[in-house]
């Protein structure tokens, strides 16, 4: 039976052999066929082993390729430049006019870029480290000269370390961060306004698992360039130390921060020359004086951030924030530690800010960016009192309340609808209106009504993760001011029509 089956199944293979040697008996022929089958089975097994080896090599090669891609040198950045034509006076400067209140498009003509480089290295045990560098430059001129106005600064230089073998439990996925960095910066794009940006050199640990969220902890140091300290102590900076914690759960984040100024208490009285003050009637020369400075040594900050996947129930994305700060962290620079706005805040300074905004879809081809922010601040200037001394030695009888700002109130609303014509062309409009009211320690008030409307086309290109845009614009912008001082009210209005262009790119 066995011989019959072999003959039947392998007849095709047997025919060539039989044709070559017709003298073999049936038994010999079957034996020869069995040898051929054994050799073919052996070869087949070898081929299967080779296939498995190749599959393994391919798998390893694929894994290695993914790893190499993850560890490649990353190159990202942002740039913008443009020019405006003042219809009345020509190109006089490239400063934006209150863009943090009335919006940036059609109101932004400076040159700015930042270049970001990073490289990740991974060990065989999975532990990894990442090196990151950011170079940034800003200039307010239209020429091509190279100088202080166009210098390049090193704004970030830090290291991240992850998958640390010693970390377990809540710290298993935590990342160590150390160096010069912008810690957790958050921006309102339509205003180019950062409501939270703590910049400095520090040490932190991020992504600590806590309940169902993550916790970030950081210690940050920043030294401000302070002319007042330089004049008195022969130094050029004052040292600020900040300690902050941020917890994120889903689309909600809460943050607290404490900061201490190491040198503010060393500046009590400042001497200065102030050309804005009245000249001495006897000599006709400008006067000099002294200012009492009581800058805060400490400050506290708390922020709540909410970014839902809708815009008040409509299709879109929300960006809302509520902030509170005291002392050193209060002032117009709330949410930061490295600005002139808050480094000279008084001990009793208090600031609140509410921001509501985001993006809402209004149709298949139309969406709109929205931003409202309101700020209330008091005692934001530590230089509360002044005493004048004439050049002939005569001294004012006593200190007087300063002309510097005590109270600040702002409300600003910006809308930017964008209509998509096709993949490469948009039509956009941006309208903003704001009030900015101040009251000085001496009782002088100054109220500003700021307004702007801009419109134009935008030509844009999306390639991969890169975007390049060219915007042409015409802008109508104005500022109505009402000032009340010593019972006298003065009003003024400054308006203009601007045309120009701006190009921007990010990748």
Q: Would you list the DSSP string of 183-222?
A: EEEEEETTTTEEEEEEEEEEEEEEEEEETTEEEEEEEEEE
pTM over 0.85: no
What the block records as the tokens of 151 is 């210098």
Instruction: Print pLDDT tens along the chain (507 aa).
Output: 444 444 444 444 444 444 445 566 767 777 777 777 777 777 766 666 555 555 554 444 444 444 455 678 899 999 999 888 776 655 555 456 899 999 999 998 888 899 999 999 999 999 999 999 999 988 877 767 665 556 788 999 999 999 999 999 999 999 999 999 999 889 999 999 999 989 999 999 999 999 999 999 999 998 766 555 555 554 555 678 999 999 999 999 999 999 998 766 666 666 666 655 555 555 555 567 777 777 788 999 999 999 999 999 999 999 999 999 999 899 888 988 866 666 678 888 999 999 999 999 999 999 999 999 999 999 988 888 887 776 666 777 777 888 888 999 999 999 999 999 999 999 999 999 999 999 999 999 999 999 999 999 999 998 888 999 999 999 999 999 999 999 999 999 999 898 999 999 999
What the block records as the tokens of 473 is 């614009």
Q: What does the domain layout of the chain look like in residue ranges? A: 1-70
Q: What distances in angstroms separate CA 456 from CA 109, 360, 422, one per listed residue?
A: 15, 20, 15
Judging by beta carbons within 10 Å of its beta carbon (0-12, 13-18, 19+), is residue 212 exposed, middle or buried?
exposed
Q: Are 98 and 450 in contact (CB under 8 A)?
A: yes
- Round to whole Å and give the CA distance between 96 and 131: 34
- Round to whole Å and give the CA distance between 284 and 278: 9
- Round to whole Å and give the CA distance between 142 and 173: 47
């Amino acid at each position: 039976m066995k011989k019959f089956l072999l003959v039947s199944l392998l007849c095709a293979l047997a025919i060539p052999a039989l044709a070559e040697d017709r003298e073999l008996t049936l038994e010999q022929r079957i034996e020869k066929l069995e040898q051929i089958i054994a050799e073919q089975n052996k070869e087949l097994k070898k081929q299967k082993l080779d296939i498995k080896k190749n599959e393994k090599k391919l798998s390893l090669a694929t894994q290695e390729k993914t790893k190499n891609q993850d560890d490649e040198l990353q190159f990202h950045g942002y740039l913008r430049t443009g020019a405006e034509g003042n219809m009345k006076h020509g190109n006089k400067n490239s400063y934006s006019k209150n863009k943090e209140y009335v919006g940036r498009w059609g109101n932004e003509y400076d040159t700015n870029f930042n270049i970001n480089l990073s490289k990740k290295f991974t060990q065989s045990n999975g532990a990894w480290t990442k090196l990151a560098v950011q170079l940034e430059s800003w200039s307010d001129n239209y020429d091509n000269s190279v100088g202080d106005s166009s210098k390049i600064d090193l704004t970030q230089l830090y290291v991240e370390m992850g998958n640390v073998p010693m970390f377990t439990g809540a710290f298993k996925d935590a990342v160590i961060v150390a160096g010069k960095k912008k810690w957790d910066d958050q921006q309102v794009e339509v205003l180019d306004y950062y409501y939270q940006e703590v910049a400095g050199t520090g040490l932190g640990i991020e992504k600590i698992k806590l309940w169902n969220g993550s916790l970030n902890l950081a210690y940050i140091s920043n030294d401000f360039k302070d002319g007042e300290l330089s004049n008195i102590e022969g130094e050029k900076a004052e040292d600020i130390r900040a300690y902050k914690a941020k917890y994120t759960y889903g689309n909600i984040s809460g943050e607290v921060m404490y900061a201490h100024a190491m040198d503010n208490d060393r500046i009590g009285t400042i001497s200065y020359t102030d050309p804005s003050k009245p000249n001495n009637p006897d000599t006709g020369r400008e006067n000099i004086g002294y200012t009492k400075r009581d800058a805060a040594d400490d400050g506290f900050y708390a922020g709540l951030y909410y970014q839902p996947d809708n815009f008040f129930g409509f299709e879109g994305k929300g960006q809302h924030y509520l902030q509170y700060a005291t002392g050193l962290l209060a002032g117009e620079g709330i949410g930061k530690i490295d600005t002139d706005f808050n480094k000279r805040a008084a001990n009793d300074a208090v600031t609140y800010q509410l921001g509501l905004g985001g993006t809402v879809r209004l149709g298949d081809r139309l969406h709109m960016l929205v931003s409202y922010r309101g700020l209330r601040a008091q005692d934001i200037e530590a230089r509360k009192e002044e005493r004048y001394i004439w050049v002939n030695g005569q001294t004012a009888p006593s200190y007087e309340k300063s002309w510097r700002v005590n109270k600040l109130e702002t409300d600003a609303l910006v809308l930017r609808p964008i209509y998509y014509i096709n993949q490469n062309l948009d039509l956009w409009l941006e309208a903003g209106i704001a009030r900015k009211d101040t009251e000085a320690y001496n009782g002088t008030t100054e109220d500003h009504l700021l307004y702007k409307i801009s419109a134009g086309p935008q030509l844009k290109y999306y390639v991969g993760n890169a975007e390049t845009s060219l915007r042409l614009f015409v802008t109508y912008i104005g500022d109505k001011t009402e000032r009340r001082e010593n019972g006298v009210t003065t009003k003024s209005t400054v308006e203009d029509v601007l045309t120009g262009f701006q190009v921007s790119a990010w990748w």
